[in-house]
Chains A and B, each alone.
Chain A
Amino acid sequence: MKQVEILVVGGGPAGLCAAINAAQAGAKVLVLERNEDLGGQLIKQTHMFFGSEKQHASVRGIDIASILFNKIYELGNIEIYKNATVLAIYDDGIVSAEINGRYMKIKPERIIVSTGASEKTLAFPNNDLPGIYGAGAVQTLMNVHGVKPGDNVLMVGAGNIGLIVSYQLMQAGVNVKAILDAAPEIGGYLVHASKVRRMGVPIYTGYTVKEAYGKDYLEKATIVKLNDKWEPIEGTEKDFDVDVLCISVGLSPLGELLWQAGCEMRYVGQLGGFVPVRTENLETTVEGIFVAGDVCGVEEATSAMVEGYLAGLTAADSLGYEIKDFEERKQDYLEQLQSLRSGHVGDKIRAGLDQVTIKSEAAVV
């Protein structure tokens, strides 16, 4: 059995930042990452990030990943296992994992769960045809493996991911025929929308996919306009000859380990699904289990990184490590999160967080 002080489950933006802060405080950290690469979605993000300098604004996601990797390698006390899937968190605090085909048991003193989120899908006839992908798969093919996913794409979803992946597809020389979204308005940042729009890609708000067609693979898709009750309006169909349908209709937190560990979970639509009840320190209702990133509410990667830093700091503090300026640093992270969420685009997030955040006694006073 492997003994560690802090186990971080998931090496995406939140997990890496958590590991960095916990290790800087002096804790021995183990990061388990399911994939063969660290960095989560960051390594697929070729666009510049928003936010402020503290969150590396105007640096490309893939370069932010390098910044974090470098910090990790500078710190000596972070051990990383890739191709490592955590299987269970047991009542006695033992964690089991499968690492490169081997079964392993770990006894951590604290756990930070930063497993991220998975893509939601959309139900329509023939949605299992080859050529119908999630946006994450398209980004992985294109930006990790250098494989062109197809020639003509219809993008479903005008949130930030749908808009950004459309732009990346065009940069890769792929024809994006249109972007559609069932919502009446564009969900992503309008600057992203304007970027793809001035490349000549139409955006159809208030439309959904009616049906996909094809013999061995996707050849055509039909979309249809929705009325204000979200019902299809007959006669408004549009056909697109496409070999790729890219589905980007939101994410759902990957909270299975938290469920299993007995953390109190609540369904919060604004945060993408079931998320853990947590304190301001990002500790769940099970003592010693912390959370950060999309698993505790789907947001932008900038917020995930700040949450990671916060959880790493508070988890190390809870182990008794003497952290210089602990209160100030904690307040700084809380203020960064508050400012990232304070605008109109953060309305939903704030409303969601209100339902699952246990206010600390200090905050009540």
Chain B
Amino acid sequence: MLERTGVPTAEQIDSVFPSEDRLAKGPVAVIECYQNIPCNPCYTACKRNAIKKFEDINDLPNINHDDCNGCGLCIANCPGLAIMVVDATYSQEEVLIKIPYEFIPLPEEGQVVKGLDREGQYVCNVKVIKILDSKALDRTPIVSIAVPREYMKVVRNFGI
């Protein structure tokens, strides 16, 4: 599926998602890297050693979600833009998803935009909560969107 269409299966997404227990504790990185390619900047970006050292540069990232505090340093360092941070404690109804977004114009904070799934299909409206675009992010802004809880594993992008 992923190899033919570029869209991971629900099982693949589940396999990289933190446990319910971990999600209930606050923000945490989700690394959607399913293919062994020569790449390790997520490991070098992680200051908490939550992403383990690569024995071989082609290894898949190995993250210990309990050691991750969701700081998001890895997000803009991943050349594949494959990392997001999910905060399932954001509110009763919504989770906060922080995703890399390399398009202009950037949305405004507070703006309601179209939440899209991994095929780019419209799922639901989502609200832009925060935009980070510091020099350290090196032109990969990070946009936080509030997503209805039931779409936590579905929304992965947005369109304006």
Could you tell me which A residues sit within 8 Å of B by CB distance? 47-53, 57-58, 60, 170-171, 184-186, 189-201, 203, 205-206, 302, 339-346
Contact = CB atoms under 8 A, between A and B. Distances in A.
Contacts of B5: 186, 193, 197, 203, 205
B38 A186 contact: no
Contact of A198 (B3, B41, B57, B116): B116
Given A190-B3, A191-B33, A51 B57 contact: yes
B144 interface: no
B78 A58 contact: yes
A340 B38 contact: yes
Given A339-B58, A340-B38, 16 more contacts: A48-B77, A50-B38, A51-B57, A52-B44, A58-B45, A189-B80, A191-B35, A193-B2, A195-B81, A196-B6, A197-B118, A302-B38, A343-B38, A343-B57, A345-B35, A345-B38
Contacts of B82: 191, 194
Interface of B: 2-8, 32-41, 44-45, 56-58, 77-82, 102-104, 116-121, 138-140, 156-157, 159
Considering the complex of A and B, which 10 residue pairs feature the smallest CB-CB distances, nearest first? A200-B120, A191-B80, A343-B58, A193-B6, A197-B6, A48-B79, A58-B41, A50-B39, A198-B157, A185-B3
A186 B1 CA distance: 10
Tell which of B2, B6, B80, B81 has the most Cβ of chain A within 10 Å: B6
Nearest to B4: A205
Contact of A191 (B3, B81, B104): B81
A197 B39 contact: no
Nearest to B5: A203
Given A58-B41, A344-B36, A345-B36, A198 B118 contact: yes
10 contacts: A52-B40, A58-B77, A191-B81, A194-B6, A194-B7, A194-B32, A197-B5, A198-B157, A200-B120, A342-B58
B79 A47 contact: yes
A197 B119 contact: yes
B36 A195 contact: no
Given A53-B44, A171-B102, A184 B7 contact: no
B79 A343 contact: no
A206 B140 CA distance: 33
B36 A343 contact: yes
B156 A198 contact: yes
Nearest to B121: A200
Nearest to A205: B4
A47 B8 CA distance: 22
Nearest to A188: B6
Nearest to B35: A190
A6 B29 CA distance: 49
B118 A194 contact: yes
A106 to B, nearest CB: 37
A85 B159 CA distance: 46
A345 B58 CA distance: 9
A201 B120 contact: yes
Contacts of A53: 41, 44
A52 B138 contact: no
